[in-house]
Amino acid sequence: MTRMNVEEQEKAKTKMKLNGSLMLIEALKAEGVEVIFGYPGGAVLPLYDELYKAGVFHVLTRHEQGAIHAAEGYARISGKPGVVIATSGPGATNLVTGLTDAMMDSLPLVIFTGQVATSVIGSDAFQEADVVGITMPITKHNYQVRDISELPRIIKEAFHIATTGRPGPVLIDIPKDITIAEGEFDYDQDVHLPGYQPTTQPNHWQIRRLVEAVSQSKRPVILAGAGVLHANAADELRQYAEQQRIPVVHTLLGLGGFPADHPLFLGMAGMHGTYTANMALYECDLLINIGARFDDRVTGNLNDFAPKATVAHIDIDPAEIGKNVPTKIPIVSDAKAALQELIAQQGKPADNAAWLAQLDEWKRRFPLYYEPEAGTIKPQKLIEMIYEMTNGEAIVTTDVGQHQMWAAQYYKFNRPHRWVTSGGLGTMGFGLPAAIGAQLADRSATVVSIVGDGGFQMTFQELSVIQELQLPIKIVIVNNQALGMVRQWQELFYDKRYSHSLIPNQPDFVKLAEAYGMLGLRAKTEAEAADVLKQAFAINGPVLLDFHVRADENVYPMVAPGKGLHQMVGVKACEESSQ
């Protein structure tokens, strides 16, 4: 068969007559989708019937929230769009938290929700909800399909929108009658969206302005966010920082975009950032933001944020530039493209030897610090032990709260795409299902899901998926019998009135693990922790570990709400340079 004949057959295949369900399946194949996360229901039964026949790899999570968080974890690690299917009404509304989470953290998802038949839309039919109206503010774009002829175009546009420019979730609401209606499947068409043309290449003049600003600076610093990771620009960031001798601080979501063991790395910035990172932002005279949105947890009080600095901001989303922090040098661009251009310019580095010496001194004198204590497990020490046990190579997922901050502080990420957490929305229950998606994105990786005892109980039904697929995820419960960060704020700002933040009555998590058919282990001392960690990582299968940590331990350093980054509490000077 000639090459021409093969091409003609492929084109013919993309224009055959199919029902809506088969159209969707063929489109997913054309997009290279490897896994679907979902939960069936009445409005999507025709689609699930075709899935059954097609043999597509589908993960049945035990709740729609689990499905969308798993898709987020998959997208974060693979860089590919996570795909979710849910039924109409409650199935769709159960996705709302995950949609908002993905929107705030710029994760590419394509969501398919079932809908009641077009003939009864608006009649309050059984399991009807205005999914388009509900999700419009929390998606990058959404659609409701009203004509079978539009379905192929809409799916192709959805994948394009989700994965280009600033990534984000796109939802397609499909009425049940559309899934069984027949039409021509033409997927061999170009996406043409005149109103959506993201700028990916930097303006040359603005790049030159930044090059000149660096050459004239004495105290430059780079604030690197998740945009570096989305652009796969970690190598370029390192090259540029080394070429120009500019120190780097990370946002929470940017961790791994620059090696944590690099001499130019200052740590994470923000509410629980390192002393050196926060003081660098406060004292710098040039701040280069690459792919971060100046979130309030990073900036603290805006009146005190980078008060001496000229601000340059590189971001693919023009809406973020100047939104929170006045910007002198705006560069709308993909982070990789902008960094490549900056490297190619080979600009004169800053005269910043004194600045680098000051930063090194701060790193020596004010490291992250906690008080060791015998007879218990300090959560900071637990994270260090996990880091050592995994050689810093694991994919780490977390829920939200104290354990999340300790993981960000004490697990040193030297490689990109190893850190999966909920940043902007701060979603409890995220960590466990996100670990499922992360493990499916990288089957050979060691995946550790570090969760709190509170957040874990929001989505622990997904243990069933882990057991069913025999995913070798290690689930680490940092158990302080409290909603730890809520308790910390109540201690510090509400005169220790612990209103509904303490959880003394916990289930037996080891027995819970056994009920789900996996090994459960418990530790209450540092020595026991070392033993169970060694045992867990020697097993090629899922293990749940319940660590009873010091219950009243707080996360420090801390910038209190309303304070500037230079007004940290919980900072302790250390005279020993070895620390």
Report, as residue numbers or ranges, the catalytic residues: 64, 126-127, 176, 485
- H/E stretch holding 433 reads helix 431-441
* Secondary structure of 494-534 in HEC code, one letter for each residue: CCCCCCCCECCCCCCHHHHHHHCCCEEEEECCHHHHHHHHH
Single-letter residue type at 289: N
* Alpha carbon of residue 466 to chain centroid: 20
- What is the radius of gyration, based on Cα positions, of the chain? 25
Indicate the Cα dihedral angle 179, 181, 187, 189, nearest 10°.
Answer: -120
Length of the chain as a residue count? 579
Structure tokens at 403: 């354990």
Alpha helices, H only, 346-390: 353-365, 379-389
> The tokens 């600076």 sit on which residue?
217
- The two beta strands, 447-452 and 182-184, are unpaired
Phi, psi of 478 (to 5 degrees): -85, 95
- The two beta strands, 329-332 and 310-315, are parallel
Helix (H, G, I), strand (E, B) or coil at 365: helix
> The tokens 């995913």 sit on which residue?
471
- Determine contact, residues 47/24, Cβ cutoff 8 Å: yes
Q: How far apart are CA 158 and CA 135, in angstroms?
A: 15
Structure tokens at 297: 């947890």
* Alpha carbon of residue 62 to chain centroid: 21
- H/E stretch holding 72 reads helix 64-78
- Determine contact, residues 85/70, Cβ cutoff 8 Å: no
> The tokens 């947890």 sit on which residue?
297
**Rounded to 5°, angle at Cα 295 from 460 and 248:** 100
Buried b (16+ CB within 10 A) or exposed e, 387-406: bebbebebbbbbbbbbbbbb
Structure tokens at 79: 């860089």
